[in-house]
Every structure is written in C-alpha cells, then in structure tokens.
Amino acid sequence: MGSDKIITAGMLAIGDELLSGRTKDKNIGHLADMLHLAGIDLKEVRIVGDEEEMIVEALDALRGRYDYVFTSGGIGPTHDDITADAVAKAFGVPCTHDPAAMELMAAMYARRGMEFNEARQRMARMPVGASHIPNSVSTAPGFSIGNVHVMAGVPQVFIAMLEALLPTLETGAPVLSRSVVSPFGEGDIGTQLTAIQKAHPDTSIGSYPRFDGNRFSTEIVIRSRDEAPAEVAEKAVLAMIAEIASAKAAG
Amino acid sequence: MGSDKIITAGMLAIGDELLSGRTKDKNIGHLADMLHLAGIDLKEVRIVGDEEEMIVEALDALRGRYDYVFTSGGIGPTHDDITADAVAKAFGVPCTHDPAAMELMAAMYARRGMEFNEARQRMARMPVGASHIPNSVSTAPGFSIGNVHVMAGVPQVFIAMLEALLPTLETGAPVLSRSVVSPFGEGDIGTQLTAIQKAHPDTSIGSYPRFDGNRFSTEIVIRSRDEAPAEVAEKAVLAMIAEIASAKAAG
C-alpha cells in the first residue's frame, strides 16, 4: 500500500557499451515504468562508463539526495564488471565473496554440471553487509546496501531482480495521470495550455509532441496525486481542443 | 578529419516524460552512435525533469568537465519547455526572442498560412549570444552557446539538428572496434579474458552478455585508437574461444 509520503529515486546505469552506442539501454525505461506504478518519483538518471571514480562519484551524489538509488550493469564475471567494488568503495567497506551467494551459486553450477570457476565466483562478490536481491533467471544475486540497490545490466535479469526487490521497498502515493491526445501541435495549443496549467496548480500538465513525418500532434498528460483536480483540468483541456477545432472548422 | 586529440562529451536529456516512463528515450543511443563514429568520447549522460534548478546544476557539472555538452528536450512552445531559460541562467545571460529565429519562423508560418502566435514565438527564445543549430524538419532552430548544444527532444528533429551540428565540431581520433561473438557465457571466458586484457593494455576489451532466454553468449569488443594492438588482441580472443571449444568438445 502506498502512503502519502513522497518517495524519490535516482538511477545509475553503468557500462561503456551504453556510451559507445553498442548497446541501447532498456533498463531506464523499464525502471521508470515500474517506479511510476509503485508511486516512487524517479528524479534523475545518470549513465557512466566502467570507471570506478565516475561510478563512486555518481553514486555518492545520488544516494545523498534520493530515498533510493537503483543501479544497472557491471556485476557480471569479467574484468570490466567493477560495480560491486565501486559500491563498496562508496560505502567505505570491503568487497568480498559473500558466503551465502557462494553457496547458492555453487549449488546451481553443481546441478548444471558446470565448473564454479574464478570468473563465476566473481559474481558472488559484494560489499560486506549487503543483502541479496534474488535473481530468478541466472541465480547470481544482486545486492542492496544502505539505500543503494545493485542489479544486473542484462534486461531479463534486471527485470527479474526489480520484480523481487520492489515489494520490499516503501512506496508513495501513486501519481494519477490522464492523457488527452490533441490533434493540434504544441504551437496551436501552447498559449492556452499555459493558462490551463496556471489555473490548475494542483496538477502537473505535460505536453509531448508527436511528429508523424508530416505534421505535429500532442499528447497532453495531466498528473496529480488526487483524482478531483486532474478531472477538472482534463475538462479544461478538452474544452480548449473543442474551441481550437471549432475555430479551424470555421476558418 | 579527426585529430589525435581526445575530445569528450556529456549529454543531458531533459523531460519529465523520460522519468515517468511515458516516453522511452531514443536520443541517447543515437547521440552515442553518432559521437562514436565522429571520434568524440561520450563520457556521461544525465536525465533530469523539467525543473530549472536540476537542469542548471546538471549543465554546470557537465559543461565544466567535458569538451562538449549536448542536450535534448524542453525547447518546444509550451509552459513546460524551460531549457532555453535554464541554459541562459547557467551562462548568466538573458533569454530573449532571437531576431534571426523570429524572422525564419515568421516566414515559415506565413508560407504555411499559420499564425505565428505567442506559443510558437516561444520557440525563438534563446540565450543572448547563442548561435543557431538549423532544423530542417520544423524550422525552429536549436542553439549553441559556449560548449553547450541545445537540441529538440522529438527524435526526428534531434536527428536533423545533430546532423547539421556535427560537421561544425572538432572531432578526435575515431576509436576502432572489432567484435567477436563468443558462443560461451562470461562465466566460461571471464578468467582468460581478464588475462587477455592485462596482456593488451593498449586496447580496451569489453564483454557484453547476451541471454536468449535459455543460455548466455558473449559479445567481446576490442577497442583501440590504433589498428595493430586491436588485431593482436582479437587473435588472442579467437585463440581463447578455440581453446574453450576444444575443451568442451573433448569433455
């Protein structure tokens, strides 16, 4: 159940491949969707490469400012997976092979007849004091320490970890949103929409241009934590569209 | 033509809709691709909402640190488009209706028989001293001031603006990359790949796990600004794959 408290979050996506264009991130949009539904306000996202100093700096900035920080990427078995070390450094604790993670993973690899080698054991490393985020896809857990939640970059694994994590977090009052598609571009509606926003301060009205290659239309989204003001603002938006359409029909 | 100099960049994507999940960003991946081809190193990306203080803070952090900053979003005609004001504030200059942009846009709307109203005129606002980034899609220009390049959030317009902007920028030595697909997951190759990276310090070797719902494979990418070390490292990676495949075939 959500409370009336506002809960904020930041995200840190980690990986050279996101900055070189080789991989197109899918986790940011998924996290944004899931947090929105959970009533947690995602306020900022940062993407940095596999560089310890950059990761630590971004983590420190985000974890000091928001209730939760979610990270993606850099917890695999190879040399460029340095997120666990960076998180440990940010928290000033050692990064070691977590005994419970080692046990989980040893059992899984034994069942599958695969060697639990040094590289795979690397995935059991986490800051001392961290708790596991279960991984229903490939066993090697993510982890939480303080307000930081560290998850994998592979989207299927990120999704599974987030699904396990979210029910354990405190959530806020969900933001209600209503969406109205305006057949007119922002240029036609901007002045009136500004007036509508001013007249309905309990709502946050966003306008999102769409371009089909030929003409612009606009998706107008009215957000509010209460039902009543959103409904009133929605009617004002619909009246605006009716007025512009009539003027164009007559013109 | 690229030089041997390393040119760095940061990106700031602006918009509440990116943080609520309503819009899935496409500009970050496109910018990453284009900068990679141009030999400009994208080092960091931030996403913030339509809040002046957040935009100014992120801009100041990025423009002080990187050679170029590219922004997307928030330059349309509605009340939530506040990027021009925020950029002006960061540079400590007024934000006014740019006369040349007003002229361009007035002519375009006149040609199309559309009213050049207050909302549309808002798109001509930019910090005093800014220069235009041409917009071949919908006329209203982006702008550059100092090392900050401000572009639209609508992907078609962002793409067009970036295409116009990039040839005007100083570019660096392009990073060459070679990619080898390993049929084995990171757990099988991690230890040896770490040794290969250590033995080839002139290259940066990334490993990117793929998961098909059943098993992991790995894309191994060798990056270098010179051809020769990348070629040697690529051969070492291929030898590693051959060795693991032989062992599995014999096992």
- Ranking A69-83, B21-35, B209-223 by mean pLDDT, the lowest is B209-223
As a whole number of angstroms, the distance between CA B174 and CA B164 comes to: 20
pLDDT per position as a tens digit, B92-108: 999 999 999 999 999 99
Question: Furthest-apart CA pair in chain B: how many Å?
Answer: 76
What pLDDT is attached to residue B3?
A: 55
What pLDDT is attached to residue B144?
A: 98
pLDDT-derived band at A173, boundaries 50, 70, 90: confident
Q: Which residue has the higher pLDDT, A176 or B29?
A: B29
Q: Which of B66, B34, B29 shows the shortest CA–CA distance to A18?
A: B29
For residue B92, give how far its alpha carbon lies from the nearest alpha carbon of chain A (Å). 24
- Whether residue B190 and residue A79 make contact (CB cut-off 8 A), yes or no, is yes
pLDDT-derived band at A210, boundaries 50, 70, 90: confident
- The H or E element spanning position B197 is helix B186-199
At residue B168, the 3 state secondary structure works out as: helix
Q: State both tokens at A54.
A: 């950059």
* Whether the complex's predicted ipTM surpasses the cut of 0.90: no
Shortest CB distance from A208 goes to which of B23, B77, B79?
A: B23
The nearest alpha carbon in chain B to A178 belongs to: B22
Q: Which of B29, B203, B63, B124 shows the shortest CA–CA distance to A20?
A: B29
Name chain A contacts of B190, Cβ cutoff 8 Å: 76-79, 117-120, 122
Percent of chain A surpassing pLDDT 70: 99
As a whole number of angstroms, the distance between CA B36 and CA B182 comes to: 23
pLDDT-derived band at A3, boundaries 50, 70, 90: low
Asked whether residue B1 carries a pLDDT value surpassing 50, the answer given is no
Shortest CB distance from A206 goes to which of B16, B58, B189?
A: B16
pLDDT per position as a tens digit, B134-172: 999 999 999 999 999 999 999 999 999 999 999 999 988
Q: Taking the mean position of all CA atoms in its chain, how far away is CA A92?
A: 26
Asked whether residue A57 carries a pLDDT value surpassing 90, the answer given is yes
As a whole number of angstroms, the distance between CA A48 and CA B28 comes to: 12
Q: Which residue has the higher pLDDT, A3 or B250?
A: B250
What pLDDT is attached to residue A172?
A: 86
The nearest alpha carbon in chain B to A210 belongs to: B154
- Whether residue B118 and residue A77 make contact (CB cut-off 8 A), yes or no, is no
Q: How many CB pairs under 8 A join A and B?
A: 204
Q: State both tokens at B69.
A: 């900053």
Q: Mutate which of A80, A120, A159, A192 to disrupt the B interface (most B C-beta within 10 Å)?
A: A80
Q: Which amino acid type is present at position A86?
A: A
Name chain A contacts of B65, Cβ cutoff 8 Å: none
- The H or E element spanning position A196 is helix A186-199
Burial class (CB in 10 A: 0-12, 13-18, 19+), A150: buried
As a whole number of angstroms, the distance between CA A250 and CA A132 comes to: 64
What pLDDT is attached to residue B209?
A: 86
What pLDDT is attached to residue A59?
A: 98
Average pLDDT of the residues of chain B: 94
- Whether residue A119 and residue B189 make contact (CB cut-off 8 A), yes or no, is yes
Phi-psi region of B129 (alpha: psi -120 to 50; beta: other; left: phi over 0): left
For residue B246, give how far its alpha carbon lies from the nearest alpha carbon of chain A (Å). 16
Asked whether residue A175 carries a pLDDT value surpassing 90, the answer given is no
What pLDDT is attached to residue B182?
A: 95
What pLDDT is attached to residue A2?
A: 46
**E-assigned strand segments in A165-240:** 176-182, 204-211, 216-224
pLDDT per position as a tens digit, B37-87: 899 999 999 999 999 999 999 999 999 999 999 999 999 999 999 999 999
In order of their start, the domains of chain A are: 7-168 (3.40.980.10), 176-250 (3.30.1370.10)
Name chain B contacts of A25, Cβ cutoff 8 Å: 28-29
Name chain A contacts of B213, Cβ cutoff 8 Å: 156
b vs e for B213-247, b when ≥16 Cβ sit within 10 Å of the residue's Cβ?
eeebbbbbbbbbbeeebbeebbebbeebbeebeee
Handedness of CA A162, A163, A168, A173 (dihedral sign): positive
pLDDT per position as a tens digit, B166-181: 999 998 888 888 999 9
For residue A130, give how far its alpha carbon lies from the nearest alpha carbon of chain B (Å). 23
pLDDT-derived band at A111, boundaries 50, 70, 90: very high
Shortest CB distance from A47 goes to which of B44, B187, B211?
A: B44
Name chain A contacts of B211, Cβ cutoff 8 Å: 137-138, 154, 156-157
- Whether residue A43 and residue B48 make contact (CB cut-off 8 A), yes or no, is yes
Name chain B contacts of A122, Cβ cutoff 8 Å: 190
Mean pLDDT of the region A50-74:
98
At residue B123, the 3 state secondary structure works out as: coil
Asked whether residue A65 carries a pLDDT value surpassing 50, the answer given is yes
- Whether residue B17 and residue A221 make contact (CB cut-off 8 A), yes or no, is yes
As a whole number of angstroms, the distance between CA B87 and CA B98 comes to: 14
pLDDT per position as a tens digit, B217-250: 999 999 998 999 999 999 999 999 999 999 999 9
Q: State both tokens at A169.
A: 């977090």
The nearest alpha carbon in chain B to A248 belongs to: B114
CA geometry: angle at A37 spanning A35 and A39, to 5°?
Answer: 70
